[in-house]
Amino acid sequence: MRVVVQRVAQAAVVVDGKTVGEIGLGLMVLVGFRPGDGEAQLHWMADKLIGLRVFEDAEKKMNLSVADVGGRLLLVPQFTLYGDCRKGRRPGFSEALAPDQATLLFDQFCGLVAQLGPLPKRGVFGAHMQVSLVNDGPVTLIIDSPQRQA
């Protein structure tokens, strides 16, 4: 499982001209899955996001989590996070999880995040989305979950 996390002052997702998810202060998170991802990766990542200390404290140190600052999360499914651009000029997506399986994991992941912190807003899996955000900092992190043990 891979996420791209951006600390934002605001973010929104629009589908077919309608805003389907919108937050103020918080984290905008692009979420991708690979074959082999399962419950362990979902729990690990949900816990990581809720506790991730990327917001500044009174001393201007990144020492506070999204929960500490009363922020929100906007979760956006993004299969292209597993795009492979090493060969040729067109990315390959063989490392991305099939859409039917990834949709189930995304729904489950959103539920886990809601159990640990504030109810997340979310994008729409498989839809053409327009994502806008004001990156605060800027702060952008790429986080990969540990792989499933064989």
Of the residues 79, 106, 109, 125, which is catalytic?
A: 79
Tens digit of pLDDT for each residue in 68-79?
999 999 999 999
pTM summary value: 0.94
Pick the CATH number of 2-144 from 3.50.80.10, 2.60.40.1180, 3.40.50.300, 3.40.190.10: 3.50.80.10
To the query of whether residue 125 is one of the catalytic residues in this protein, the response is no
What are the Cα distances from residue 100, in Å, to 38, 44, 79, 97, 103? Answer: 14, 22, 12, 8, 5
Residues 139 and 23: their CA atoms lie apart, in Å, by 16
Annotated catalytic, 19? no
Write out pLDDT tens, residues 51-90.
999 999 999 999 999 999 999 999 999 999 999 999 999 9
Task: State the catalytic residue, choosing from 80, 115, 130, 147.
Answer: 80
Q: What is the CA angle 44-145-77, rounded to 5?
A: 90
Of residues 33, 55, 78, 106, which has the active-site annotation?
78
Is 103 tagged catalytic?
A: no
Domains of the chain by residue range: 2-144
Q: What is the pLDDT of residues 126-145, one digit of tens each?
A: 999 999 999 999 999 999 99
